[in-house]
Amino acid sequence: MLSDSANIPASTTVKSSLGKYLASIRADRKLTLRQVEEATNKEVSNAYLSQIENEKILKPSPNILHALSEIYSVSYELLMQLAGYITAVSTEKDAGTRHGRLATFAEHNLTSDEEAELMRYLQFIRNRTAHSDKT
Does the global pTM surpass 0.75? no
* Owning domain of residue 122: 98-134
Number of domain units in the chain: 2
- Examine the domain organization and report whether 118 and 68 are in the same domain: no
| 3-class secondary structure, 74 | coil
Distance, in Å, from the CA atom of 51 to the CA atom of 60, rounded to the nearest integer, reads 10
Quickly list H helices, 1-135.
18-28, 33-39, 46-53, 62-72, 76-83, 92-95, 112-134
- For the chain, the C-alpha Rg in angstroms (whole number) is 18
The answer as to whether 34 is a domain residue is: yes
The tens-digit pLDDT sequence of the chain (135 residues) is 333 333 333 333 344 799 999 999 999 999 999 999 999 999 999 999 999 999 999 999 999 999 999 999 999 999 999 999 988 765 444 444 545 444 555 666 777 777 778 777 777 887 877 666 665
